Structure 1
Amino acid sequence: MITHFQYKPLFKQAKLPGWRISFYFRGSHYDGIYHKNGQIEWGSVTPLKEDETKLQTQIHELMLFHVYE
């Protein structure tokens, strides 16, 4: 389960797409860039392959709820 999920726009003009995201999953901190097409560009830590699809789905749902209300 994702905890402490945070996002903020990549650009000062919030209408431009792209968000910096960060969260904790299984005790590890992850960060990256969430693109408008749903693609995630991971930061310094990449999740394990078996967790990546699950995380992408959860992050997409969170972004739909928070950004695309």
Structure 2
Amino acid sequence: MLTHFQFKPLYDNKQLPGWKFSFYFHKQKYNGVYHPDGKIEWTSGAPEAVNIEQVKSQIHELMLFHVYDN
């Protein structure tokens, strides 16, 4: 489970899509960029391969809820 999930617009012009995000997973902090097409670009190390799909799915759900459903 992801904890302390945070995101903010990637650009000062909030009309342009793209978001920076950060969260903790298994007591490790991760950072990345969420692109408008749903692509995730890790700016810190990526979670372990065994957990990556679970983490990506949770990020997509959180972004849909917080960004696209508002």
Counterpart Cα distance in 2 of 1:44 and 1:63: 19
**Any idea what the Cα deviations from partners look like across 1:23-46, whole Å, max 9, x if unmatched?**
000100000100011111001211
Q: Say if 2:67 is the partner of 1:67.
A: yes
Report what 1:6 is aligned to.
6
2:13 counterpart SS class: coil
Aligned length: 69
Number of the residue aligned with 2:55: 55
Deviations 1:2-22 (A, max 9, x none): 000000001011111110000
CA RMSD for the aligned pairs?
0.6
Residue equivalent to 1:30: 30
Structure 1 stretches lacking a partner, 5+ long = none
Counterpart CA distance in 2 for 1:46 and 1:57 is 14
3-state DSSP of counterpart to 2:68? coil
Identity %: 54
Structure 1 residue 62: deviation in Å? 0.2
Paired with 1:59 and 1:4, the residues of 2 have a C-alpha distance of 12
